[in-house]
Chain A
Amino acid sequence: MSRQAATGSRLSEVVSALKPSGIRRFFDLASSMEGVISLGVGEPDFVTPWRVREACISALERGYTAYTSNAGIPELRREIQRYLEDRFSVSYSADREIIVTIGASEAIDIALRAILNPGDEVLVVEPCYVSYEPIIRLAGGVPIFLRTTAEHNFKLTPQELERNISPRTKAIIFCYPNNPTGSTMSRQEWEALAPIIERHDLLVISDEIYAELTYDRLHDSFAALPRMKERTILISGFSKAFAMTGWRLGYVCAPADLAAGMLKIHQYTMLCAPIMAQMAAVEALRHGMQDVERMVESYRQRRNYVVRSFSDIGLACHEPEGAFYAFPSIKSTGLPASEFAERLLLEEKVAVVPGDVFGECGEGHIRCSYATSLEQLEKAVERIDRFIRRL
């Protein structure tokens, strides 16, 4: 009897057991329809600023088409070092502590693979981006889900952290400013968590991909807290701040021993990030901040618009302080989020993402991306209003 016949599948047990992304089914449905207004898009509605695109074209013209060093071109790592110091007061060595990756997604993957032994537990703060759980499982770890709620503006509380820690807990992973809730954490709120993390000697994977997109105050990096840098793996990238999602360019910063481990995986699996994207990113960090400011201003206005409009039509929505998502509660309708989203799509042609896709505690909410034109937002609110009143 062949090995496949014995296990019933040619796929590994881990992969077989992975659930397909909850967004997938929804995507298929929405893409098959005409005239859909989408609030389901998890990326900026701006095109990459021209100066950045032009830098890439110029790199190609000058023949920059080869591999780079595994960790990324030195100029880019130096720019990332300078940028993180200037913006968030965290200081990483360009030579030993920064790796340029294929998007923040790869960074999450190599961070988890570098630190996990089979059976290690990782605390996952939900609701969160859909890739954390599968990547933890692929790395042999066990995800333990931490709940956050609208009552606390989807912030992680010390109580929720403490009660989920076990002797097997190796690390915690979170994303603030948060996808899908738009919630952020202030320095004081981080400070309440740091002693617990230190006492239990946890590693921290801090996904800060939305760091630039905050609307009421500057982002506070967890790594900027006293003594936390040595246990923190900071992940970020160019996708959200510079509207560069399709370029697939991110980076991971960590103490030298952890970075060296991640670099081993990166060099064997990826080798390096594309050189032309790296050249473009240098331009983004050197001269692109005014473009970022312009985009942030526009997101902030649309955030204001959407939150106010939702409250006008009776959808309870906490004020998202970052990213470009509103995460209103639909509990008053009595519908589960998936049913709400599906019916809203079929009946009113508005695509939103059901909150439970991002974790169980996202149930009763829908994620609405406001990275779309004001005209589309207005129409979407009108249609959602009509839909709710009909229920």
Chain B
Amino acid sequence: MNKQQRIELLRLLEEDSRLDCGQLAKLLGTTAEEVDQEIKRLVDEKVIVKFPALINWDRMDDNPYVTAMIDVKVTPKRDVGFDEVAERICRFPEVKAVYLMSGAGYDLSVVLEGKTMREVASFVSQKLATLDSVISTATHFILKRYKHDGIMLEERDDDRRMVVSP
């Protein structure tokens, strides 16, 4: 599989990870075996990390999750900088994402998911704020997600074209 096909394969899977090897082979003009091998290789190389579905939990009658973004100010440590504390924060399963930020009044941006606001608040006060290097936290709850990972969550994709046209 050439470089272009590999990139296209990744983009196709990023869009729809349910596409099977046969479909992917047809789309990319190659064989199912080759696609299968390539996916295995990409998984081994940790280029493909997981095959998750993008779920809009807001559409569930009782959304089981609340999400918060937390600005965390920390003291960097000699030799390890921010990495040590960031990795510690990452280990909590409630933490969905951790980013080191530039230009903000804080250092780490932490995305946190919990069942209730109380649960998130208690995680912040008991687990996050109490870490040695953490100087301060500011918690922002997400009220509604409009777009996530490049995908508009509420967008309708009606086909407005005529059925037959020249």
Binding site for B on A (CB under 8 A): 21, 23, 26-27, 30-31, 36, 38, 40-43, 45, 129-131, 179, 297, 301-302, 304-305, 308-309, 351, 353, 357, 372, 374, 378
Contact = CB atoms under 8 A, between A and B. Distances in A.
Nearest to B25: A308
Contacts of A45: 159, 161
Contact of B163 (A30, A179, A308, A357): A30
Given A45-B161, A301-B8, 18 more contacts: A23-B164, A23-B165, A36-B163, A38-B163, A40-B163, A41-B161, A41-B164, A42-B166, A130-B166, A131-B166, A301-B12, A301-B27, A304-B28, A305-B23, A308-B26, A351-B164, A353-B166, A374-B23
* Residue among B26, B29, B165, B166 facing the most chain A CB atoms (10 A cut-off): B166
B164 A26 contact: yes
Contacts of A179: 166
Contacts of A378: 23
A40 B8 CA distance: 27
Interface in B6-27: 8, 11-12, 19, 23, 26-27
Contacts, number: 62
Interface in B142-164: 159, 161-164
A79 B163 CA distance: 33
29 contacts: A26-B164, A27-B164, A27-B165, A30-B164, A31-B162, A38-B163, A38-B164, A40-B164, A40-B165, A41-B161, A41-B162, A41-B164, A41-B165, A42-B165, A42-B166, A43-B161, A43-B165, A45-B161, A179-B166, A297-B8, A297-B11, A301-B8, A301-B12, A302-B27, A304-B28, A308-B29, A351-B163, A357-B166, A378-B23
A304 B165 contact: no
A378 B18 CA distance: 14
A297 B165 CA distance: 23
B82 to A, nearest CB: 34
